């Protein structure tokens, strides 16, 4: 599996609180069958400086983690880095926005408000696509307005992402197959934050989908992500 959305980087957001917790999260991912895991710490951008400061902080966190992995020879997935950007303005306008893409891709993981729909969302996402970016919309099941929004976005080249834990509920498992059947790209990621209540549930979600619709398992847990990372 490829995990495109997770918070294993230490001491940078509400994810791993220590480097030891990062290692434990990644070892667990490896055991579940994840071959590549993307670290996507939270960021909100209101000025160009926020990107620079974030990258500096993320760099420190990566150094700390990679040093520890080397020392302990921990068995962890291959790692790449990106960001989870809270979309509350036209982020396509920032010169350095491409620096927040998942490494080796033109993909930007964005999250929307779980409370209120913003009338500019479609326009902001469209602006990103015309600049060559592929927005991945994080945990779509979290937005009460998502069905209408997916219709509104028809024709805009985005990828929908669902959290593994949500798929343990029939309602969201059905939603995933529904998005897939409509011909849109949907992927599953862990959005893991720790080794406790917000740990990775990828393996469980995979089993659940295997029972419902085995023929799309590889697509949503691996192939689509693999195509995005070239």
How far apart CA 219 and CA 186 sit, in angstroms, is: 9
Query: Please, what is the minimum distance in Å from the beta carbon of residue 193 to Fe ion?
Result: 7
Query: Please, what is the minimum distance in Å from the beta carbon of residue 70 to Fe ion?
Result: 26
**Closer CB to Fe ion, 192 or 217, in the complex:** 192
**What is the phi/psi pair of residue 81, to 5°?**
-130, 150
How far apart CA 150 and CA 123 sit, in angstroms, is: 13
Query: Please, what is the minimum distance in Å from the beta carbon of residue 214 to Fe ion?
Result: 27
Chain residues that interact with Fe ion, rule: CB under 5 A = 84, 191
DSSP at 214: G
**Closer CB to Fe ion, 103 or 181, in the complex:** 103
Taking CB atoms, the residue at the shortest distance from Fe ion is 191
**Closer CB to Fe ion, 28 or 84, in the complex:** 84
Query: Please, what is the minimum distance in Å from the beta carbon of residue 43 to Fe ion?
Result: 11
Burial of 51 (0-12, 13-18, 19+ CB in 10 A): buried
- Do residues 136 and 158 touch, judged by C-beta distance below 8 A? yes
**Closer CB to Fe ion, 195 or 213, in the complex:** 195
């Amino acid at each position: 599996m490829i995990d495109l959305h997770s918070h294993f980087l230490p001491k940078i957001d509400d994810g791993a609180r220590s480097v030891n917790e990062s290692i434990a999260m990644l070892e667990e991912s490896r055991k579940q069958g994840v071959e590549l895991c993307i670290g996507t710490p939270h960021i909100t951008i209101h000025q160009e400086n926020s990107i620079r400061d974030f990258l500096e902080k993320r760099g420190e966190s990566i150094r700390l983690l990679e040093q520890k992995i080397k020392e302990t020879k921990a068995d962890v997935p291959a790692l790449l880095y990106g960001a989870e950007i809270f979309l509350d303005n036209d982020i396509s306008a920032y010169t350095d926005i491409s620096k927040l893409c998942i490494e080796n891709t033109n993909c930007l993981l964005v999250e929307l408000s779980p409370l209120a729909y913003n009338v500019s969302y479609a326009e902001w996402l469209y602006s990103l696509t015309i600049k060559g970016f592929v927005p991945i919309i994080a945990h779509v099941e979290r937005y009460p307005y998502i069905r209408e929004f997916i219709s509104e976005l028809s024709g805009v080249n985005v990828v929908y992402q669902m959290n593994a834990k949500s798929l343990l509920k029939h309602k969201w498992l059905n939603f995933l197959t529904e998005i897939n059947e409509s011909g849109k790209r949907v992927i599953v990621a862990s959005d893991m934050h720790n080794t406790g209540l917000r740990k990775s549930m990828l393996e469980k979600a995979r089993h659940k989908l295997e029972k419902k619709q085995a023929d799309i398992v590889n697509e949503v847990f691996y192939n689509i992500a693999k195509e995005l990372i070239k």
